[in-house]
Amino acid sequence: WREDEVKNQLSAEEALRPAPKKDEQFFMVPKVVNHEN
C-alpha cells in the first residue's frame, strides 16, 4: 500500500482535445437514461 502522489496532470484543454464532442470544459455524451414511468 502506498500513499497517492500527484504527478503530471493534463490541463482541461489537453484532456478534451481528443473528445469527439465537447462544450467548453465538459465532455458531451449521449443521453442514456429515460425518465418515463
In which residue are the cell numbers 465532455 written?
27
Whether the CB-CB separation of 27 and 16 falls below 8 Å is answered with: yes
- Residue 1 CA to residue 29 CA, distance in Å, equals 35
Q: Please give the Cα distance from 37 to 19 (Å, whole number).
A: 33
Burial of 17 (0-12, 13-18, 19+ CB in 10 A): exposed
Q: What is the predicted pLDDT for the residue at 37? A: 64
Domain boundaries, the chain: 12-36
- Hey, how many other C-beta atoms are within 10 angstroms of the C-beta on 21? 10
- Whether pTM > 0.85 for this model: the answer is no
Q: What is the pLDDT of residue 25?
A: 86
The pLDDT assigned to 17 comes to 93
Tens-place pLDDT, residues 1-37: 899 998 999 998 999 999 999 988 899 999 888 877 6
